[in-house]
Amino acid sequence: MADDLGFIHQFVPAPTGANGPTLLLLHGTGGDENDLLDLGRIDEPTAALLSPRGKSLEEGAPRFFRRLREGVFDEADLIRRTNELADFVILAAQRYAIDPNRIWALGFSNGANIAAATLLLRPEAVAGAVLLRPMVPLEPDDRPDVAGKPVLIVAARHDPIVPVRETHRLSDLLESAGAAVTTHWVPGGHGLTHDDLAATQAFLTSQFGAT
């Protein structure tokens, strides 16, 4: 665990001889830099893993940005934190000698929201994204150019936190900016299940080949 580059974080190099991408792992509310390491390794065994801890606290629970209430985000804080995260990714690519053009975000809930915000505000920081249970983080005044960036949205049909319309709004927003969006629906609620794992594995395999 390192606490420099602006974030407490974990970096796990790719396995010896592997030539996979780097997965930027972004936890949900109350998680930390260890939460998604196992998921990342299972989803893409050839990848290096870069996993920061969110710096915003909500009643002691780490998050990546502040919210005013459930589903209502502090947009000014979101913008500031998104820029911090993008700067961290750029510095980490230099520190760990990873290809900055092969960094993919994989985020859950609050982590998925800041991953989506990164695509919308700092698209140069990530090559693509897997967004698990995301919402629309914000609608920027200037639409970014994310032409061709692959994005997987995995949404649940009975999610009590993310309404179905939010998933469609986010998909439409990213597509209007040029992203190649795939939306996959799973049964269940806000928590992750084996269906999420299978969808993520299939998507990443389609991007990087059989693992």
| 147-178 residue pLDDT tens | 999 999 999 999 999 999 999 999 999 999 99
Q: What pLDDT is recorded for position 211?
A: 40
Question: Residues, the chain, total?
Answer: 211
CB 14 within 8 A of CB 48: yes
Residue 67 lies in a domain: yes
| Active-site annotation holds for 159 | yes
| 65 phi and psi angles, rounded to 5 deg | -160, 165
| Active-site annotation holds for 194 | no
Among 190, 194, 195, 206, the active-site one is 190
Domain that holds residue 130: 9-208
| 23-65 residue pLDDT tens | 999 999 999 999 999 999 999 999 999 999 999 998 899 999 9
Token pair in block for residue 131: 């967004």
| 116-131 residue pLDDT tens | 999 999 999 999 999 9
The β-bridge partners of 107 are 26, 131
Residue 3 lies in a domain: no
Residue 2 lies in a domain: no
Q: What pLDDT is recorded for position 101?
A: 95
CB 160 within 8 A of CB 178: no
Token pair in block for residue 179: 């992203």
Among 109, 168, 184, 195, the active-site one is 109
> What is the arithmetic mean of pLDDT over 64-81?
92
CA–CA distance from 199 to each of 4, 92, 170, 193 (Å)? 33, 28, 18, 10
Report the b/e string of 29-65 with b at 16+ CB within 10 A. bebbbebbbebbbebbebbbbbbbbbbbeeeeebbbb
CB 199 within 8 A of CB 154: yes
Residue 65 lies in a domain: yes
The CATH number that applies at residue 184 is 3.40.50.1820
Among 9, 159, 171, 196, the active-site one is 159
Residue 4 lies in a domain: no
Counted domains in the chain: 1
Between CA 62 and CA 65 the distance in angstroms is 9
pTM listed for this prediction? 0.95
Residue 127 lies in a domain: yes
Q: What pLDDT is recorded for position 1?
A: 67
